[in-house]
Structure 1
Amino acid sequence: MAQLRFKDLDVWKVSMDLVVKVYEITREFPKSEQFGLASQLQRSAVSIPSNIAEGSGRGTRIDFAHFLDQARGSLLEVITQLEISRSLNYGDSDKIKAIQLEYEILGMRINALIKTIKDSKRIERSDLED
């Protein structure tokens, strides 16, 4: 697989923008959560573009798909942690709900990229069998 330029990937760009939004939201959390939920939410958000970048630099489609799976797992953590934040009335509920929706859309885009990578591998394998 040719080396992908992760900075050109839309899923990476969107996930980077969402990291900034998570940091903005967590600034509004109580000081008592600075090293708790806020920190965990920030780490989960940062993990998404980090895994996309790392996976794109790997040598195979299988490796890239694996790191995209890791990014998707972190994305689901973020959605869950945002829901917990809303339940605890941390931050602006409307902003949190809006960013949750953005993460859900990003999740669909990551899923589509994973499917494309896995389908292209199947096509290559079947081409070799002919």
Structure 2
Amino acid sequence: MSGVKKFTEILFWQRARDWSKEIFFLTKEKPFASDRRLVTQINDSSESTMANIAEGFGRGTQGEFIQFLGYSMGSLLETQSHLVAAYDREYIDAETYRRLFNEGTSIRRMMIAFMKSMKKHGSGVKHIKPPYKSWSSEVWEMYEKFTGEKRPEMFQEDKKT
């Protein structure tokens, strides 16, 4: 993702766009077009797949981007489920079903690989943790703050943790 300045440069967004567009035009054909409820659902979920990638990219933080990629994957799986329904209702043939379902799986794999690369050990928001402070150290810090006095010498050792 290094150097990506716009969400439209992301390969799995481009593939999701093409996938959604192909599904849209497929739903305009009869007999698929007559099932308005399924047409609306499959078009909304396939478009949501690409839209959530874009929205996550625009959020500005790695954690939010990953969260929206999760939403995108949910929409992708929903679209695959609608493809199953379209196949079961004989709106699409076996080859079209297989090809579109497999393309969704490929897009999902790309997103998962990308998310894993963002969560490698020692990188990203997953590994940003505040330094650990013991409870006693926190209490002594409050004591010093509110009383203006230093903690007694015998408790100075707690300051190191």
Query: What is the TM-score when the length of structure 1 is the normalising length?
Result: 0.86
Q: Deviations over 1:44-91 (max 9, x none)?
A: 000011000010011210000000000000000011110111011013
Equivalent residue of 1:36, what SS? helix
Give the aligned residue type for 1:32. Answer: S
Higher relative contact order (CA 8 A, sep 6+): 1
| Structure index of larger Rg | 2
- Distance in structure 1 (CA, Å) of the matches to 2:125 and 2:58: 21
Q: Counterpart of 1:62 in 2: which secondary structure? A: helix
Distance in structure 2 (CA, Å) of the matches to 1:8 and 1:86? 32
Q: Separation in 2 of the partners of 1:122 and 1:67?
A: 15
Report the equivalent of 1:83.
84
Contact 1:25–1:92 (CA under 8 A) maintained in structure 2: no
TM-score by length of 2: 0.70
Aligned residue among 27, 34, 44 for 1:32: 34
CA-based RMSD = 2.2
Where does the alignment leave 5 or more consecutive residues of structure 2 unmatched? 132-161
Q: Distance in 1 between matches of 2:42 and 2:79?
A: 6
Identical counterparts, % of pairs: 29
Aligned length: 126
| Counterpart AA for 2:102 | L
